């Protein structure tokens, strides 16, 4: 039955706002510093990331990004400050400079960002006749190539070719004919290029014979022969070649050994130097001996 008096609002106690267990836990969880940080920074970052990824997943957008980046890059790289307009080769002869220009084909002007100096340096150093090179960007938009050329110390006859060789035994170029570089000694034979130092020592030692000397021949990749004009040869031992040569020179100075009709001076056995005389000389010697015996 309905009460006949008017319904009054109950003078009830203020409802106690006790949180439910899960609400309480949720609030505590949200007050945890790590979670707060995650929501404060992680949430916005995640939204930004999602938007960025979804935008980037379209092909045209990716292309746009790539084009923009490329253009921006080009704008910077093509600035006049970065442009290289000339190349200057220093420390090389004209021939060498020309061959350097050949291995570094470039159409100037070019941006310095597009140059790979290390590769260029290696290519230049790969050239015969160049000992080392420095490639750098110089002032006023110049590409500077500083070259230390190889200094040829000998001519090496390799078959029909006449190669120039430096003191490390590395090729330093070619010559057309021997007469082009008469100032350099001539060496020949297999393995001669690996013993340049020894050859140079011999040349230095053989100064008194220089006018008659035609060259050094490496024999059996083990020892040297000195070839003189008139087809004379001095056979040097593998060890102590310089000493043996000295003895020959002394003999030459004392007895004019090499001015005689000697074909070969064999110094290979240091205890027993041997000479081979020419046929006529041998005959003459033989005859002289007979005459002496007859007398």
Partner 1 sequence: MGDLYDSQRAMRNMRKAAMQRGVIAILDIGTSKIACLVLRFDGPETFRGADGVGSLAGQSSFRVIGAATTRSRGVKFGEVDAMQETERAIRTAVQAAQKMANVRVDHVIACLAGGRPKSYGLDGSVDIANGLVTDGDIGRVMAACDLPDYGAERDVLHAQPVNFALDHRSGMADPRGQIGNQLNCDMHMLTVDSVALQNIFFCIKRCDLELAGIASSAYASGISSLVEDEQELGAACIDLGGGSTGISVFMKKHMIYADAVRMGGDHVTSDISMGLSVPMATAERIKTFYGGIVATGMDDREMIEIGGDTGDYEHDRRTVSRAELIGIMRPRVEEILEEVRVRLDAAGFEHLPSHQIVLTGGGSQIPGLDGLASKILGQQVRLGRPLRVQGLPQAAIGPAFSSAVGLTLFAAHPQDEWWDFEIPVDNYSGRSLKRAVKWFKDNW
Site for partner 1 in 120-139 (CB under 8 A): none
Q: 219 CB contacts (<8 Å, ≥6 apart)?
A: 189, 225, 235
At its nearest, how many Å lie between partner 1 and the CB of residue 21? 7
- Least distance from C-beta 17 to partner 1, angstroms? 6
Which residue reads 């007979």 in tokens? 290
| Residue number with CB closer to partner 1 (28 or 79) | 28
Cα(170)–Cα(270) distance, integer angstroms: 32
Which C-beta is closer to partner 1: that of 2 or that of 177?
2
31 binds partner 1 (CB under 8 A): yes
Minimum Å gap between C-beta 23 and partner 1 is 8
Residue 96's alpha-carbon distances to 12, 115, 129, 136, in angstroms, are 108, 21, 8, 18
Convert residues 9-28 into a mask of x (bound to partner 1 by CB under 8 A) and - (unbound): -xx-x--xxxx-x--xx-xx
Binding range to partner 1, per CB under 8 A, among 7-15, 103-111, 128-136, 281-289: 7-15
The answer to whether 217 touches 224, Cβ cutoff 8 Å, is yes
Q: Counting beta carbons within 10 angstroms of the beta carbon of residue 113, is it exposed (0 to 12), middle (13 to 18) or buried (19 or more)?
A: middle
Which residue number, 23 or 122, has a Cβ lying nearer to partner 1? Answer: 23
Please give the sequence-ordered ranges of beta strands (E in DSSP) within 17-125, or none if there are none: 83-84, 86-90, 110-111
Which of the residues 57 through 116 are near partner 1 (CB under 8 A)? none
Nearer to partner 1, 31 or 102 (CB): 31
- The H or E element spanning position 208 is none
Residues of the shown chain interacting with partner 1 in the complex, contacts defined by CB under 8 A: 3, 5-6, 8, 10-11, 13, 16-19, 21, 24-25, 27-28, 31-33
């Amino acid at each position: 039955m309905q009460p006949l008096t008017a319904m009054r609002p109950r003078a009830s106690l203020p409802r106690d706002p006790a949180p439910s267990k899960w609400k309480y836990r949720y609030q505590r969880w949200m007050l945890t510093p790590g979670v707060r940080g995650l929501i404060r920074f992680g949430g916005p970052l995640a939204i930004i990331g999602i938007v960025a990824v979804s935008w980037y997943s379209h092909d045209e957008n990716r292309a746009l990004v790539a084009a923009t980046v490329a253009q921006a890059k080009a704008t910077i790289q093509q600035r006049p400050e970065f442009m290289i307009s000339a190349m200057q080769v220093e420390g090389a002869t004209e021939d060498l400079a020309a061959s350097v220009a050949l291995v570094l084909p470039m159409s100037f002007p070019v941006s310095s960002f597009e140059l790979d100096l290390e590769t260029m340096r290696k290519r230049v150093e790969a050239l015969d006749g160049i000992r080392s090179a420095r490639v750098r960007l110089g002032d006023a938009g110049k590409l500077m190539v500083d070259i230390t050329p190889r200094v040829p110390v000998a001519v090496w006859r390799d078959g029909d070719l006449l190669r120039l060789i430096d003191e490390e035994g590395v090729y330093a170029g070619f010559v057309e004919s021997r007469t082009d570089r008469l100032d350099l000694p001539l060496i020949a034979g297999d393995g001669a290029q690996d013993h340049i130092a020894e050859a140079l020592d011999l040349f230095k030692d053989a100064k008194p014979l220089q006018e008659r000397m035609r060259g050094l021949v490496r024999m059996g990749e083990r020892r040297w022969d000195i070839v003189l004009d008139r087809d004379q040869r001095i056979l040097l031992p593998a060890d102590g070649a310089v000493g043996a040569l000295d003895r020959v020179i002394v003999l030459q100075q004392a007895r004019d050994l090499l001015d005689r009709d000697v074909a070969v001076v064999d110094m290979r056995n240091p205890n027993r130097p041997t000479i081979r005389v020419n046929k006529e000389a041998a005959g003459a010697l033989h005859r002289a001996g007979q005459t002496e015996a007859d007398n």
